Amino acid sequence: MESKTEGKIMEEKEGEKCWMVASEKKEGAVCLIKERCKGCGFCIEFCPVKALEFSEKTTDKGYHPPKMTGDCILCGKCEKMCPEFAIYVKEEDE
């Protein structure tokens, strides 16, 4: 099931929301385990290309998780910055 409501092309499996990203060099996805997010905003603040924003929707606990709106370059900064092990990059293996 793909829907565009949460920004870029998005696919949702149980508990996990992945934004498919296809930049020139790399193909892959940025995935978010929504329920782990505590809305600290590190990923949004320190994304080098400002591809993430706070989502209007909240998690069950009332935190605003990120959503992908910009052109992600799959650099993985958000994954390294996340204190909750909530967001990570999945690269298509060539």
Partner 1 sequence: MSIRKSRNYFSPDYMNQQKEKDKSYGLHPLDGYLKKDRIPHIWCPGCGLGVVLSSFLRALDHSGIPKEKTAVVSGIGCTGRVAGYLNMDSFHLTHGRAIPFATGLKVGNPDMVTTVFSGDGDLFAIGGNHFIHAARRNVDFNVICVNNFNFGMTGGQAGPTTPTEATTTTTPFGGFEHPFNLPAVAAGSGAVYVARWTAYHVEALIRSLEEALNKKGFCFVEVLTPCPTGYGRRTGQKTGKEAMKYYKENSRIEHGADPTEVSLDQDEIIVGKFVDREAPTYQERRGEIFQAIRKKKGVE
Q: How many CA atoms lie within 13 A of 47 on its CB side?
A: 25
Among 28, 47, 63, 67, binds partner 1 (CB under 8 A): 63
Q: How far apart are CA 54 and CA 59, in angstroms?
A: 12
Nearer to partner 1, 3 or 85 (CB): 85
Q: Binding of partner 1 at residue 81 (CB under 8 A)?
A: yes
**In angstroms, what is the minimal distance from the CB of 84 to partner 1?**
6
Contacts of 88 (CB under 8 A, 6+ apart): 30, 31, 76, 79, 82
Applying CB under 8 A, which residues contact partner 1?
14-16, 31, 33, 35-36, 38-42, 45-46, 63, 77, 79-86, 88
